Amino acid sequence: MMNGTKRADITLGIRVLVVQKQDQRSGKLTEGIVKNLLTKSPSHPHGIKVRLESGIVGRVKEIMPGD
């Protein structure tokens, strides 16, 4: 499983696990489909920030394997 620190690894429409701002302490992850990439830099140590199709914004912690 890939972590989400490199922007090049994340494409629109893939399934990912993100951590939301309010869940950073607990480490609770939310699963969803990437709608937008919000981080502009090529990498970020805490994960690339994305908006999911559900509207949730968070940093990618894991990229789910494709079918």
**Backbone φ, ψ for residue 51 (5° rounding):** -110, 130
Mean pLDDT to the nearest integer, 39-44: 97
Domain ranges of the chain: 7-55
The rounded Cα 9 to chain-centroid distance in angstroms is: 10
pTM for this model (two decimals): 0.93
**Backbone φ, ψ for residue 49 (5° rounding):** -80, 130
Residue 4 confidence class, pLDDT cut points 50, 70, 90: very high
Pick from 29, 3, 45, 43: nearest CA to 58: 29
Beta strands in the chain (DSSP E): 15-19, 29-37, 49-52, 57-63
